[in-house]
Structure 1
Amino acid sequence: MAKRLTDNINSQYFEAINKMTPKKARRRIVVYVESYDDVFFWRSVLGRYEDDKLTFDIMLPSRNQHLDRGKKAAISNMLKGVGRDMIACVDADYDYILQGSTEMSKQMLENPYIFHTYAYAIENFQCYAKGLHETCVMVTLNDHRIFNFERFLLSYSQTIWPLFVWHVVFLQRRKMTMHFDMCEFNKVVVLPSVRIQNPQWAIEYLSKKVRAKMFQLERRFPKLKDALPETERMLRDLGINDNNTYLYIQGHHLFDLVVSPVVQTVCDILRNEQENDIRDRAVHSEQARTEIACYENSLGKVKMMMKKNTYYQFSPEFQKILADVERYLEKDF
């Protein structure tokens, strides 16, 4: 038996509150997310649908006056009282790929009031290749394109794709996942230091690691090799392929160990380039020091700017999220 009113909070609770508000007041939809970083992302999704009749209130779930974090907390708060006035927005993780084969995946995919990212996590969107030059401009205020992020992440995706298919084969067989889990996969697909002038060296090094791991898997698990074509077809049907693999691997790994180090290196070069240009154009050394100080005060931090960049809104995965939200709004409002 519930001890507090807050223990009984569900969609019906918020629906009752909405009924008690003045007729001209906007309907309030409570949105549970996994972490503070997620609030901004889901605001970029839901904010466009607010009008004089509807508003979204995005927050972390709480229970017994304590904040809960993570997908399980967000979803568990939904299960007892899901409805149109209280929804959950979560990272897909591998649950989109698993297509309902686990309880968590089934709940996420079948519940019309739980929305997910399609891509593994929000961090993957923050690494969206077409927006990374914009990030560099936000950090350095220098619009010089010295690195092709799209080509780089395309090569990265195409290189890790065959191993990713192997990884999914193991994910689909829960009793075998331990033999090639996410931690082991991440160890293989991490990049060495990328040389901006010759990024292909890092890709070739990665390719050797991928081939070595695949050879090992083929020898240890020869019967699983037969499952690869079917798994690859399934992934492609979901919109996951060798061109966008990077969007579906673990987000923290991609952000911290693959993309942000490259963005940082590019930004360091662009910053030095801009400072050298200031020195060349300055009339005297004092002016140069003053201009450089002003410039440095205007610089941003790489990881912060990656999180603030919203270029991911042009991605196919983001468009799928919008389509889900629009179906929900058309059905319930």
Structure 2
Amino acid sequence: MLNPNIYKSQAEYWKNLPIIDRSIKACAHLEDEEDIFFWDTILQKCDAGKYLYIPYSKSKEGHDTHGCEQCLKFLPFLSDTFFICIDSDYRYLLQQPNIDAKHYVLQTYTYSWENHLCEKSSLEANCKTVGLISDFDFSFFLSELSHILYKPLLILLHSKQHDDKEITDKEFNGCLPKQCHRKELEDSGKQLLANISGRFTELIDKHKPYIEELNLDNESKRYEQLGLTEDNAYLHIRGHNLFDLLGYIGKLLCREQELHFKDDILKRGFKTENYWEILHIISDVKSLGL
């Protein structure tokens, strides 16, 4: 049976819970349970305390439901004691309205929270901390990858902005492999980078007539104002693709050491300073006045 007031009634309960239980600072609805690690790290840094994390809630049909769209159902009912924490996907770059701290929405600014685990300075620091023995330079690899991705990403964003479906997420993400060969990792992945570049070149050639009518300089200026540059484009692509690729690279590099790359390095933690995407989140949290 449909219940059109289900979101309001759930929101009212969570809004009032910190008043009833003073040990709870606020309630935060997340996309999924696995997001708790990221958002708790951020919230504890900004304002330490006990938060109730809500990984799923009831839909109008009465089903337990999770995901970003479920979080956004609560948009009209949010407050400083009940807010949502979501992955930006492309919402920030496309400037979707009402997705901001003023409306009690915390977002990642990168495509997803997984991207923050892949941020190059954090990744390099984690590799050193655990003692990964490898001459693979992740900073070099990610910087080069970012430059390869930048132009295709601008084209994808233009297509999304105009909703013309010229280039799809599936096409774009399909240019990023999930696995690679050990030999491709020599010289910090130069052969792998060349292969990825070749895939994106094929994608651009496929849509050449469409692209020739674009003014990429204008697109570049538009998104530079929002913080997107050649150097950080890798933080604004689908997080699972980036995370899985780096995880596989790390798996190959760790074969001779007793290290699990994803658990021991990628998920070890991330810096909460030095790059704007993370600093914007911290600023948003502080603006809530928790």
TM-score by length of 1: 0.76
Q: Aligned with 1:180: secondary structure?
A: coil
User: Which residue number in structure 2 is paired with residue 28 of structure 1?
Assistant: 25
Q: Aligned with 1:84: secondary structure?
A: coil
Among 58, 62, 78, which residue is 1:63 paired with? Answer: 58
Q: Aligned with 1:132: secondary structure?
A: helix
* 1:205 and 2:212 aligned: no
Deviation at 1:2, TM superposition (A): 5.8
* Partner Cα separation in structure 1 for residue 133 and residue 28 of structure 2: 40
User: Which residue number in structure 2 is paired with residue 230 of structure 1?
Assistant: 218
Among 96, 109, 113, which residue is 1:118 paired with? Answer: 109
Among 313, 316, 319, which residue is 2:272 paired with? Answer: 313
Task: Render the CA deviation track for 1:231-263: whole Å, top value 9, x for unaligned.
Answer: 21121111111111111001111111x211111
User: Which residue number in structure 2 is paired with residue 72 of structure 1?
Assistant: 69
Q: CA RMSD in A?
A: 2.7
* 1:47 and 2:38 aligned: no
Q: Which has the higher helix share?
A: 1
User: Which residue number in structure 1 is paired with residue 169 of structure 2?
Assistant: 182
* Partner Cα separation in structure 2 for residue 213 and residue 2 of structure 1: 46
Counterparts in 2 of 1:165 and 1:221: CA distance versus 1, 3 Å: closer
Q: Aligned with 1:305: secondary structure?
A: helix
Task: Render the CA deviation track for 1:40-93: whole Å, top value 9, x for unaligned.
Answer: 100001112445xx64222213116743211011121x2242111100000000
* Partner Cα separation in structure 2 for residue 235 and residue 193 of structure 1: 34
CA contact (8 A) 2:89 2:238 kept: yes
User: Which residue number in structure 1 is paired with residue 34 of structure 2?
Assistant: 37
* 1:240 and 2:228 aligned: yes
Which amino acid in 2 is paired with 1:243? D
* Partner Cα separation in structure 2 for residue 307 and residue 67 of structure 1: 30
* Partner Cα separation in structure 1 for residue 24 and residue 126 of structure 2: 36
* 1:173 and 2:162 aligned: yes
* Partner Cα separation in structure 2 for residue 196 and residue 40 of structure 1: 30
Most deviating of 184-193 and 148-157 = 184-193
* Partner Cα separation in structure 2 for residue 260 and residue 96 of structure 1: 26
Greater relative CO (CA pairs within 8 A, separation 6+): 2
User: Which residue number in structure 1 is paired with residue 262 of structure 2?
Assistant: 303
User: Which residue number in structure 1 is paired with residue 282 of structure 2?
Assistant: 322
Task: Render the CA deviation track for 1:271-297: whole Å, top value 9, x for unaligned.
Answer: 1xxxxxxxxxxxxxxxxxxxxxxxxxx
How many pairs are equivalent? 283
Deviation at 1:26, TM superposition (A): 3.9
Q: Can you give the 5+ residue segments of structure 2 that lack an aligned partner in the other structure? A: none
Q: Aligned with 1:108: secondary structure?
A: coil
Counterparts in 2 of 1:135 and 1:17: CA distance versus 1, 3 Å: closer
Q: Aligned with 1:188: secondary structure?
A: coil
* Partner Cα separation in structure 2 for residue 6 and residue 217 of structure 1: 43
Deviation at 1:13, TM superposition (A): 3.9
Which amino acid in 2 is paired with 1:310? G
* Partner Cα separation in structure 1 for residue 242 and residue 69 of structure 2: 22
Deviation at 1:193, TM superposition (A): 3.3
Counterparts in 2 of 1:306 and 1:5: CA distance versus 1, 3 Å: same
Taking only the aligned residue pairs, the percentage that are identical comes to 20
Q: Can you give the 5+ residue segments of structure 1 that lack an aligned partner in the other structure? A: 101-105, 272-298
Deviation at 1:4, TM superposition (A): 9.4
Deviation at 1:222, TM superposition (A): 3.3
Q: Aligned with 1:83: secondary structure?
A: coil
Q: Aligned with 2:53: secondary structure?
A: strand
CA contact (8 A) 1:7 1:63 kept: no
CA contact (8 A) 1:132 1:263 kept: no
* Partner Cα separation in structure 1 for residue 30 and residue 174 of structure 2: 29
Among 130, 147, 152, which residue is 1:163 paired with? Answer: 152
Deviation at 1:133, TM superposition (A): 3.7
Counterparts in 2 of 1:222 and 1:110: CA distance versus 1, 3 Å: farther
User: Which residue number in structure 2 is paired with residue 85 of structure 1?
Assistant: 81
* Partner Cα separation in structure 2 for residue 20 and residue 245 of structure 1: 44
Among 234, 249, 256, which residue is 2:237 paired with? Answer: 249
CA contact (8 A) 2:155 2:211 kept: no
Q: Aligned with 1:31: secondary structure?
A: strand
Deviation at 1:323, TM superposition (A): 0.6
CA contact (8 A) 1:120 1:247 kept: yes
Deviation at 1:309, TM superposition (A): 1.8
TM-score by length of 2: 0.86
